[in-house]
């Protein structure tokens, strides 16, 4: 697949890293030589230092034959213009990064499609959506609703109260059991587990289950004593905080602590139709946190632009008794450190946005895809095509590559877990978990290909 990326910022570089390991034909364009420095030797891509809105540059990059053109520069207008030009030159699909929520409104989507832009990505909205999902379950590090909730994936940190430690998974996750363990993070190691693997204390385990069995999962992992989230303090009043506050459920009370007086005034305008309270101050000030009721707060969300500040603030909140903490960590080098400090849920806008874009690059019918940053694994919803290999054998006879597992499927709107004797049918939405950079090897199982 040929992909042209305009913009060598955080999202563009992360996409380039993903593509370089998937053997795609990738070209990265940026007019800042410093941002491109050494990237073509680090990743297996072509780097072009030129303006991404230059028609000649786009032609030189082969945009006319591109399967996907991605505009992810720092400037919204530049991304939109580049995508319009790429479409006019012949690019099959285009996606633009934006920072204006109005553009995402349903009534505006036809306008952008008519101008050659197939998809819009607003990283702050995607990050806010993940934050809200996580807050709905205080005892879960990460939650992902599959196929509108027919299946649910839960990432859970296992502690002393867990009932299922040190037992082979084949004894825990049989055909009739209501959950599967689909991925495990243990220290720096990522495990796509088999039947003889065991869960250990302090593992980050990913469970696949259905809505009905979430209370059962909560019980066996020893998290019943965790309070549901009703009071939330957000440190930092940027765009992600605004989108999160506006999308907050009615049963949650939100306070935003912002250090800038001018930004506080702006927040009061932006959030005038919500119940969020804006407070001027430093979210690291323990006196202020106590004054604002931190001891009666179930969730603390640190969303400043400084990763170190967010990590330290979450550590302080935990010491003050907050169970659920969320930190925005934009520097990927800090992610493993943040996890080792056990600060809670980690949000990274660029990986969220890159995952959203990356699913467009897969040739099979992929409904949704996510890179599980904490476990260096990917999870995707593949739709099985008529006559595809995945429909010709039961799961145990598919010959899936090492490090790949199928966690569940959705058939006619109903979620069900998968075992070795499951027969996948055409039209099923199938959840696939694998180590990073293996999705490209999996999609052929789901396509109608006469070679098989």
pLDDT (0 to 100) of residue 444? 81
Separation of alpha carbons 384 and 390, rounded Å: 7
Separation of alpha carbons 269 and 17, rounded Å: 39
pLDDT one-digit tens code per residue, 266-312:
999 999 999 999 999 999 899 999 999 999 999 999 999 999 999 99
pLDDT (0 to 100) of residue 436? 61
Produce one character per residue of 144-155: b if its CB has 16 or more CB atoms within 10 Å, e if not.
bebbeebbbbbb
pLDDT one-digit tens code per residue, 17-38:
777 766 678 999 999 998 888 7
Report the pLDDT averaged over residues 315-337. 88
User: Across the chain, what does the average pLDDT equal?
Assistant: 88
Separation of alpha carbons 269 and 278, rounded Å: 10
Separation of alpha carbons 202 and 197, rounded Å: 15
Exposed / middle / buried, residue 305 (Cβ in 10 Å: 0-12, 13-18, 19+) = exposed
Report the pLDDT averaged over residues 362-368. 47
pLDDT one-digit tens code per residue, 225-246:
888 899 999 999 999 999 999 9
Exposed / middle / buried, residue 60 (Cβ in 10 Å: 0-12, 13-18, 19+) = middle
Strand order in the sheet with 414-417: 366-372, 377-383, 429-435, 404-411, 414-417
**Highest-scoring range by mean pLDDT, 24-28, 82-86, 322-326:** 82-86
pLDDT (0 to 100) of residue 107? 95
Separation of alpha carbons 155 and 374, rounded Å: 10
Question: How distant is the alpha carbon of residue 332 from its chain centre?
Answer: 14
Report the pLDDT averaged over residues 396-424. 88
> Could you tell me the pTM of the whole model?
0.81
pLDDT one-digit tens code per residue, 336-351:
777 778 788 889 888 8
Give the SS3 label for residue 331: coil
pLDDT (0 to 100) of residue 40? 66
pLDDT (0 to 100) of residue 235? 98
Report the pLDDT averaged over residues 110-126. 95
Structure-token match 């680090």, residue found: 42
Percent of the residues in the chain that have a pLDDT greater than 90, as a whole number: 57
Exposed / middle / buried, residue 314 (Cβ in 10 Å: 0-12, 13-18, 19+) = buried
Report the pLDDT averaged over residues 38-42. 71
Checking if the pLDDT of 113 tops 60, the result is yes
Percent of the residues in the chain that have a pLDDT greater than 70, as a whole number: 92
Q: Helices in 195-301 by DSSP H: which ranges? A: 214-220, 239-247, 261-270, 286-291
Report the pLDDT averaged over residues 247-271. 96
Structure-token match 């990059």, residue found: 61
């Amino acid at each position: 697949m040929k992909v042209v990326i305009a913009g060598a910022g955080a999202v563009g570089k992360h996409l380039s890293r993903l593509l370089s390991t998937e053997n795609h034909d990738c070209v990265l364009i940026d007019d800042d030589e410093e941002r491109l420095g050494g990237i073509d030797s680090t990743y297996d891509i072509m780097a072009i230092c030129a303006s991404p809105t230059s028609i000649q540059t786009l032609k030189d990059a082969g945009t006319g034959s591109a399967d996907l053109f991605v505009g992810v520069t720092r400037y919204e207008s530049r991304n939109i213009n580049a995508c319009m030009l790429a479409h006019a030159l012949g690019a099959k699909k285009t996606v633009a990064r934006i920072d204006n929520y109005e553009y995402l409104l349903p009534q505006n989507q036809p306008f952008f499609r008519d101008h050659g832009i197939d998809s819009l990505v607003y990283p702050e909205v995607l990050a806010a959506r993940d934050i809200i999902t996580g807050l709905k379950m205080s005892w879960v590090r990460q939650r992902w609703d599959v196929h509108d909730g027919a299946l649910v994936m839960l990432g859970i940190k296992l502690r002393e109260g867990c009932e299922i430690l040190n037992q082979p998974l084949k004894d825990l996750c049989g055909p009739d059991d209501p959950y599967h363990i689909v991925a495990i993070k243990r220290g720096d190691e990522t495990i796509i587990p088999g039947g003889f693997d065991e869960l250990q204390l302090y593992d980050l385990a990913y469970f696949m289950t259905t809505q009905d069995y979430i209370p059962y999962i909560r019980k066996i992992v020893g998290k019943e004593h965790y309070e549901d989230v009703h009071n939330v303090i957000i440190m930092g009043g940027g765009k992600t905080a605004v989108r999160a506050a506006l999308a907050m459920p009615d049963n949650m009370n939100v306070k935003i602590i912002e250090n800038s007086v001018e930004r506080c005034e702006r927040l009061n305008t932006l959030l005038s139709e919500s119940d969020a309270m804006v407070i001027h101050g430093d979210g690291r000030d323990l006196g202020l946190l106590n004054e604002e009721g931190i001891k009666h707060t179930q969730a603390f969300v640190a969303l400043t632009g400084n990763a170190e500040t967010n990590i330290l603030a979450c550590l302080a909140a935990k010491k003050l008794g907050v169970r659920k903490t969320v930190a925005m960590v934009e520097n990927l080098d800090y992610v493993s450190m943040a996890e080792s400090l056990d600060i809670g849920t980690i949000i990274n806008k660029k990986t969220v946005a890159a995952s959203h874009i990356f699913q467009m690059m897969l040739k099979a019918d992929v409904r949704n895809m996510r890179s599980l940053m904490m476990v260096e694994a990917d999870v995707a919803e593949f739709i099985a095509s008529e006559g595809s290999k995945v429909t010709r054998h039961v799961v145990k006879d598919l010959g899936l590559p090492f490090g790949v597992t199928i966690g569940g499927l959705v058939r006619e709107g109903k979620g069900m877990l998968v075992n070795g004797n499951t027969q996948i049918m055409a039209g099923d939405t199938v959840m696939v978990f694998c180590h990073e950079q293996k999705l490209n090897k999996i999609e052929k199982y789901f396509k109608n290909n006469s070679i098989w």
